[in-house]
Chain A
Amino acid sequence: AFFWLVSLLFSSLFWFMARTITDNKDGPIQKYLLILGVLVSVLIQEMFRFVYYKLLKKASEGLKTINPDETAPSMRLLAYVSGLGFGIMSGVFAFVNTLSDSLGPGTVGIHGDSPQFFLNSAFMTLVIILLHVFWGIIFFDGCEKKKWSSLLVVLLTHLLVSALTFISPHYGINLVSTYLIMVLMGIWAFFVAGGSCRSLKLCLLCQDKDFLLFNQRS
């Protein structure tokens, strides 16, 4: 979460500087700057994810040398947690102000905007959080196995999702495609994390010995 925050800081710095350079003129240039800011921000986020991975790796190795007996948390768990941290921070930052505004008096869409503003924000935030979790898992796994294609795919899908939000008032396309991407990412992350169809079946049918409900069935 902290790393995401720092990445956000850097990207806002970039955007702010770009804005002051262009002297805050109104008009299309602001929109372009915003788009540029968004894309740069995505790049910085992924970069920080990589930095975080490196840091965890180093710390994990250091810990292993000091204390060989203790089992350090597995990299998969760390991947999940890092994705979750990124996702929560990102979701919260995107949404909490909207949420607090939604409590106040007002009418949605009075100036001609869509009345489903809040709904869309909510769903988008949800999907972003889940996507960050999946991206984290895939990203770390790609780093572990040195499969740089995974990293590239994560980066590209992140850019794609952000770019999809540019077509903002057309919520339908936006949401549906983002959810589709999320489902794909989820399936990929599931297989990356070691799941398989068989284990999924075992889990769902409560036949998995390690799973909680096993004893209840039998």
Chain B
Amino acid sequence: MEAGIQQRPGLVLSPRCPVAQPRGPLGGVMGRAGLPGKLAGTARSARRCQKLFQALLPPWLPGAAAGRTLRLGQHRGAGGASQGRAMLTFMASDSEEEVCDERTSLMSAESPPPRCCQEARQGLEDRESAAQWRSQDSEEDLDEDADRYMCSGVPGQPSGLEEELTLKYGAKHVIMLFVPVTLCMVVVVATIKSVRFYTEKNGQLIYTPFTEDTPSVGQRLLNSVLNTLIMISVIVAMTIFLVVLYKYRCYKFIHGWLIMSSLMLLFLFTYIYLGEVLKTYNVAMDYPTLFLTVWNFGAVGMVCIHWKGPLVLQQAYLIMISALMALVFIKYLPEWSAWVILGAISVYDLVAVLCPKGPLRMLVETAQERNEPIFPALIYSSAMVWTVGMAKLDPSSQGALQLPYDPEMEDSYDSFGEPSYPEVFEPPLPGYPGDELEEEEERGVKLGLGDFIFYSVLVGKAAATGSGDWNTTLACFVAILIGLCLTLLLLAVFKKALPALPISITFGLIFYFSTDNLVRPFMDTLASHQLYI
């Protein structure tokens, strides 16, 4: 209760100092925060993320990552042996899908209400009102589940003010998400268009055992549906496993698995990617140089992602590993299966996040109850470091860090006669401690890596299979971004956890198929006659 009471000043203060906060928040904040702030913020969110994630993620996550690599490894062993590639032996784990699940969620920085004030509404789109989004754990490989959460944690606030505050999250957050998603897609599309390797059919993953080289259309459709069913069931199993593990607090296991999976991703996949790119451009590189490059890249990546590092570098690494994972998916998923899987993943995401008994929702709620942070390694955080401007707060309100979630807050809110919001998630307000220099709260948006991956898979597939048409790729790109905007808007409206995949993927799929079949002949004919519309 005391913590809640201590929270009170923070909450009360926020309406009183809206001017100070919204005014050039980022500029002022960044100026003061500097790098250490960023690191602290990152570390803190990292700690939070980590705890939450460790709780949330079942061991399969790392296994998922490993499993994903295993799939690749196995495949390489089988089909690659003929190409003279090394056999990789890893433990198979189905956690890959789950990892995929976990990774797809749009996460909001846990921002106490004043932070809402802080973000001045920017941008030109009125629709872009993003509320606070709660971070959800997402591991790299858990693309699907956790990553797709978008929740807006709403700290207790008077409702009108809250509306304003949440709507004051303007286009700035949207842009902060647009840039990394765009970068990831650009990397994937550039690679697809230039490196032949990723469009060659060299076999399939063990999770999609049915081939698509069948004579009849019906058979092919059936095979792709079966592939999807297998994939989705593996994902569901992994997610449930994850939830169970989280409930039983097998943190060390999860942590170790996470590290292993990111190791795999950073070293092995990078090595393969680099090899293929060098082959495409016919650049000779000797093994010592290659070893040095890959080693440096991987080591710095591990440090940045799992520990501390400059925010920009961490973001860059997360984008790169998402792109690498997406490329793997693009290469090893057969065409029709890929589209059906994308659709099914969106549906699953919707179900898992919104249903009361959905695994991801339970995961998030458990994490919130335990007030644990989300592991930063699996979530892209576009955090703006914000130094607490609430100088009036009692430094002893550092106890707020240990403030348990909803019950206390709501009690405290009720005790002050404030309406307690029927929010699913109440963000902890750890950022409120009055220590200005150390406590920096991240006021950014966190998007799960799985979202990145699946967006990139969609756009990459469009680039790879859309008869080489750039129009299709661009149409899918715009559709996905608009879907992201809409999802953020819905988040502002509903203020609860929302999956980030469905709308974007739906738009993307609609636009892919319609552009490929309807728009392309039209535009081609126009271009050949040089008519302009």
Contact = CB atoms under 8 A, between A and B. Distances in A.
Given A5-B478, A34-B525, A97-B523, A62 B531 contact: no
A66 interface: yes
B183 interface: no
Interface in B73-107: none
Interface in A54-70: 56, 59-60, 62-63, 66-67, 70
Interface stretch (A117-125, A180-188, A194-202): A117-125
Contact of B530 (A5, A89, A96, A165): A165
Interface stretch (B331-339, B403-411, B466-474, B498-506): B466-474
Nearest to B523: A93
A56 B126 contact: yes
A162 B474 contact: no
A192 interface: no
A97 B522 contact: no
Contacts of A70: 120-121, 168
Interface in B465-512: 469-471, 474-475, 478-479, 482, 511
Given A5-B511, A92-B474, A97-B469, A38 B531 contact: yes
Interface in A1-41: 1-2, 5, 8-9, 11-13, 15-16, 34, 37-38, 41
A167 B530 CA distance: 9
A93 B471 contact: yes
Interface stretch (B288-296, B428-436, B513-521): B513-521
Contacts of B529: 34, 168
A143 interface: no
B470 A9 contact: no
Contact of B518 (A2, A9, A59, A89): A9
A45 B533 contact: yes
A14 to B, nearest CB: 9
Interface in B397-453: none
B531 A15 contact: no
Contacts of A38: 526, 531, 533
B527 interface: yes
A8 B520 CA distance: 11
B163 interface: yes
B531 A162 contact: yes
Interface stretch (A72-80, A134-142, A144-152, A210-218): A72-80
A89 B120 CA distance: 29
The 9 closest A-B pairs by CB, nearest first: A59-B126, A12-B522, A41-B533, A12-B519, A168-B530, A96-B470, A12-B518, A2-B482, A165-B532
20 contacts: A2-B478, A2-B482, A5-B478, A9-B518, A11-B522, A41-B533, A42-B533, A59-B125, A59-B127, A67-B121, A72-B126, A78-B124, A90-B533, A93-B474, A96-B474, A97-B471, A97-B527, A162-B531, A162-B533, A168-B530
Interface of B: 120-121, 123-127, 129, 163-164, 167-168, 469-471, 474-475, 478-479, 482, 511, 514-515, 518-519, 521-527, 529-533
Given A34-B525, A165-B531, 6 more contacts: A8-B533, A9-B518, A13-B518, A42-B533, A121-B527, A124-B532
Interface of A: 1-2, 5, 8-9, 11-13, 15-16, 34, 37-38, 41-42, 45, 56, 59-60, 62-63, 66-67, 70, 72-73, 77-78, 81, 89-90, 92-94, 96-98, 100, 117, 120-121, 124-125, 128, 161-162, 165-166, 168
